[in-house]
Amino acid sequence: MNFDKELDARGLNCPLPILRAKKALGELTSGQVLRILATDPGSVKDFVAFAKQTGNELLSSAENNKEFEFYIKRK
């Protein structure tokens, strides 16, 4: 999937992946896509909630060998 910016949140724990993602999304313009890498297992549900609350669209959420990859489109 294409993306405009990448955030490496691997090794970071709650709530840092969400806080960093919020910041990174702020640097994008509407419609641009942020790719996030994380290792916090809690982040899977957290990004769903984050997207729902903020109106930014969670395009995909995947796990690969205990690493999580999210694509979020800026509102």
Write the CA distances from 11 to 5, 37, 41, 53, 68, integer angstroms: 19, 10, 11, 25, 11
Task: Compute the half-sphere exposure of residue 9: CA atoms within 13 Å on the CB side of its CA.
Answer: 31
Q: With binding defined as CB under 8 A, does residue 11 bind another protein? A: yes
- The interface region with another protein, picked from 19-27, 29-37, 60-68 by CB under 8 A, is 19-27
Q: With binding defined as CB under 8 A, does residue 54 bind another protein? A: yes
Q: Which of 6, 8, 13, 60 binds another protein (CB under 8 A)?
A: 13
Q: Which of 29, 30, 53, 65 binds another protein (CB under 8 A)?
A: 53
